Amino acid sequence: DIQMTQSPSSLAASVGDRVTITCRASQGISRWLGWYQQKPGKAPKSLIYAASSLHTGVPSRFSASGSGTDFTLTISSLQPEDFATYYCQQYNTYPLTFGPGTKVDIK
Amino acid sequence: EVQLLESGGGLVQPGGSLRLSCAASGFTFKTYAMSWVRQAPGKGLEWVSAISASGDRTHYADSVKGRFIISRDNSKNTVFLQVNTLRAEDTAVYYCAKLKENFGDSSADSWGQGTLVTVSS
């Protein structure tokens, strides 16, 4: 199975900060990677597909890049509604696998 | 607007079974693959299963293979997850997700609100 890791596991940031989260796959997955946001007690929300494409309705302050094994999600200017946990998921190979998540807290 | 409404969760004893349902609306159901993802209390997301748009291809996580069965009824815009031989470690919120493509190895773009399955004696 492809293992997904994320760093950091958590971070504290202020409104307006630029935040970057890294996701690494244990083997190459081309660009078959998605990013999801989840707030406590809520369902996940899809942010990114194909490593860098925004799902409909996702604010442009979210961006993502990468291919192969290394990927990043960037929030250019953190907003109050962005405090949440972020997960990456590879869909290159079954079984599909998620990263362990990165929790973004308020500083 | 895409809507996914899960149902069928509940409290079940170890070894028991449940049938989870996900009723879909707001899109042409028969043209998209669907998936189930679960989240144990306080834990991260775990992909469970996926089914192609036509229903002819299914895939499972190793942790549920042989115990869970995914299916769909395109005439009723519903996807199902039959969960059998349940274990305590199957306790989780089960989310239904619509995938972007007609095949199972694609990104999810919409999610239901989840249904809680609790396995306990």
What does the pLDDT read at residue B102? 83
**Nearest CB neighbour to A96, from listed B44, B47, B109:** B47
Per-residue exposure over A42-58, b if at least 16 CB sit within 10 Å of its own CB, e if not? ebbbbbbbbbbebbeeb
Q: Which residue of A has its CA nearest to B36?
A: A96
Using alpha carbons, list the distances in angstroms from residue A39 to A76, A103, B86: 19, 10, 28
Determine, for residues B44 and A44 on separate chains, whether the beta-carbon distance falls below 8 Å: no
Q: Is A50's Cβ below 8 Å from some Cβ in B? A: yes
- Segments in chain B below pLDDT 70: none
**B41 backbone dihedrals φ, ψ, rounded to 5°:** -55, 125
Interface test with A, best of B101, B107, B110, B111 (most A CBs within 10 A): B107
What does the pLDDT read at residue B104? 75
Rg of the Cα atoms in chain B: 13
Instruction: Tell me what the mean pLDDT of segment A59-64 comes to.
Output: 98
Using the predicted structure, report yes or no on whether residue A102 has a pLDDT greater than 80.
Answer: yes
Using the predicted structure, report yes or no on whether residue A74 has a pLDDT greater than 90.
Answer: yes
Chain A from 2 to 31: CB within 8 A of any B CB:
none
Q: Is A101's Cβ below 8 Å from some Cβ in B? A: yes
What does the pLDDT read at residue B105? 83
Interfacial residues of B (vs A; Cβ cutoff 8 Å): 35, 37, 44-47, 50, 59-62, 95, 100, 104-114
Higher pLDDT, A60 or B101: A60
3-state helix, strand, coil in chain A (%, to 5): 5, 50, 50
**Nearest CB neighbour to A87, from listed B45, B50, B114:** B45
Average pLDDT over chain A reads: 97
What does the pLDDT read at residue B68? 98
Determine, for residues B111 and A46 on separate chains, whether the beta-carbon distance falls below 8 Å: yes
Q: Which is nearest to A82 in space by CA: A21, A38, A44, A51?
A: A38
Q: Is A55's Cβ below 8 Å from some Cβ in B? A: yes
Determine, for residues B112 and A43 on separate chains, whether the beta-carbon distance falls below 8 Å: yes
* Residue written as token pair 């409104």: A15
What does the pLDDT read at residue B103? 84
Instruction: Tell me what the mean pLDDT of segment A44-72 comes to.
Output: 97
Sign of the Cα pseudo-torsion (B38, B44, B50, B53, in order): positive
Residue A50: pLDDT band (50, 70, 90) is very high
Q: pLDDT digit string (tens) for A10-36?
A: 999 999 999 999 999 999 999 999 999
